[in-house]
Structures are given as structure tokens and as C-alpha cells.
Amino acid sequence: MALIPDALSGVALLPRALRLLARRPRLLGLGLLPPLITTVVLGALLVLLLMNQEALVGLVTGFADDWSPGAAQALRWVVAAALVVGAVAVWILTFSALTLAIGSPLYDRIAEQTEELAGSPPEPVEEPLRVSVTRSVRQSLGLVALSLLLAVPLFLLTLIPVAGTVLGPVASACVGGWMVTTELVSGALERRGRTSLRERWALMRGQRARVLGFGVPVFLLLALPLVAIFVFPVAAAGGTLLARELVGEGQRRDTVDAR
């Protein structure tokens, strides 16, 4: 069965990307600055949300005030956990979109270097900067909005007795990993003329196991604020490697692996 090997090959993209970027340490160091800025800004917002978590939970579960104390408290615990899971999922996607926007020139350079080290970089598609920026902003906002919508069924999933405590986090990691990967492969696919979300998702659906093998670990690592600062430049390079595999260029091994 190819699912497990494909998933493992997706997981292996992160260490491959790290080996590539290790050959460009200055670029790797500069790539840490945008996620550092984003972490400070979004981290403050996340802390503010968590500080007001009790009030938000009380607002959502007001209908349970007449329940028995034990049942009402159990519901509030579940809602609090679901709120944290949903907030973290949205935080990670927003973190990715904002970091890519802030560090666009740097990550474009990282992607170009990754392409060169991996071999046979594509010819860039010429288009006005205004067009590409407008498209990127529109798509990023769309992904964040979609994540907010998906947070509702993911929240309901956590309410399933017993099974929900496992299914909820697993489903959130898979959905979050998929969304983050959508962002991370965007630049490399746009350089190959695949500019729409529909085209991107069509390629990703063709290799779901590989995509999730890459995306889920990235999603989980980005959930750790300090770790995310160091992971993001590597994940950006890994997204470029994954994009190459999605379009059938993955059979070429990195020059760093050949030495």
C-alpha cells in the first residue's frame, strides 16, 4: 500500500529542506526575522484571547446555566478545549499567511535557492506585481475565512463523547496541515503557472498522503510559538520541494544529497 511510503516521503521533506538551507546559512538566518515579528504580534493576540477564555466560554454555554453543576462544568471544559484548538488552528494559518506576506522577498529568495539546489529551476512566469500581490492577499484571506468556517464542524466533532477527544485534535491537525501546505506550495506552483487555489488543490488531492505527511508535522511544529520561528524558513523550503513533487519533478534528487 503506497499511503505509508508516500506519507513518510512527505515527512522527509523537512529534513531535506534543512539540509539544503544549511548550505545557505545567511539566508536561513534572515528567514527567521519575519516569523519572529509575526510571533510577537499574533502571540499577543492569542494571549489576549486565552485571558478572556472564561468569559467567552460563559457566553457560549449560557444555555447550560440551569443544568446540574457537574454537567455544566463538563460542557464548559469541552467548549474551552475546542476554543483553544480552533484558535490555535486559525492562529497557525494566519501566522503562515502573514509571515509569507511580511517576508515575501526573503522567502522568494529561499524558494529560488531551493529550486537551484534541487536542480532545473523553472522559468519564472512574468506578471505585474500588482496582480500577484492582489491574488496572494485574496487567496490568503479566503483560506483564513475557510478555516474559520471549518472550525465549527471541528468544534462539534470534539463534543462527541470519548471519541471526540481523539477525533477532534486529529481532524484539526489534518485540516490545519492541509491549509498550511496550501500556503507553502503557492509560490513554487505560481512560478509554474498554477496560480489558482483550484489548480493547487487538484495537485494536492492527487498526492494526499504525501501532502499530509508534510503538512501535519509542519502544522504541529508551528503550534509551538518559539519553535515556529526556526521551523518556518525550513517549511518554506520544504513547500518548494513538495510543489516540485506535485508536478512530477520530485524524481530529481537534491545536489546536496548527491554529494
Give the pLDDT confidence score for residue 251 in this predicted structure: 53
* Least confident range of 40-44, 67-71, 78-82, 97-101: 78-82
Euclidean distance between CA atoms 70 and 67, whole angstroms: 8
> Is there a contact between 185 and 243 (Cβ–Cβ < 8 Å)?
yes
> Is there a contact between 9 and 226 (Cβ–Cβ < 8 Å)?
no
Does the pLDDT value for residue 176 go beyond 80?
A: yes
- Cβ neighbours of residue 100 under 8 Å, at least 6 residues apart? 34, 107, 136, 140, 183, 186, 187, 236
Does the pLDDT value for residue 256 go beyond 60?
A: no
Give 122: exposed, middle or buried? Use CB within 10 Å, 0-12, 13-18, 19+.
Answer: middle
Domain parsing of the chain, residue ranges: 3-51+78-246
> For the chain, what is the HEC assignment?
CCHHHHHHHHHCHHHHHHHHHCCCHHHHHHCCHHHHHHHHHHHHHHHHHHHCHHHHHHHHCHHHCCCCHHHHHHHHHHHHHHHHHHHHHHHHHHHHHHHHHHCHHHHHHHHHHHHHHHCCCCCCCCCCHHHHHHHHHHHHHHHHHHHHHHHHHHHHHHCCCCCHHHHHHHHHHHHHHHHHHHHHCHHHHHCCCCCCHHHHHHHHHCCHHHHHHHHHHHHHHHCCHHHHHHHHHHHHHHHHHHHHHHCCCCCCCCCCCCC
Does the pLDDT value for residue 50 go beyond 70?
A: yes
Does the pLDDT value for residue 227 go beyond 60?
A: yes
Q: Please, what is the Cα angle at 159 between 75 and 155, to 5 degrees? A: 105
Give the pLDDT confidence score for residue 255 in this predicted structure: 45
Does the pLDDT value for residue 208 go beyond 90?
A: yes
Torsion of CA 94, 96, 97, 103, to 10 degrees: 130
% the chain with pLDDT above 90: 31
Euclidean distance between CA atoms 131 and 184, whole angstroms: 19
- Give Cα 92 to chain centroid, integer Å: 6
Give the pLDDT confidence score for residue 247 in this predicted structure: 92
Question: What mean pLDDT, rounded, does the chain reach?
Answer: 85
% the chain with pLDDT above 70: 94
Mean pLDDT of 81-107: 81
Cell of 145: 475565512
4-33: pLDDT as tens digits: 899 999 999 999 999 999 998 998 898 999
98-150: pLDDT as tens digits: 888 888 888 888 988 898 888 777 776 677 767 877 888 888 888 888 887 88
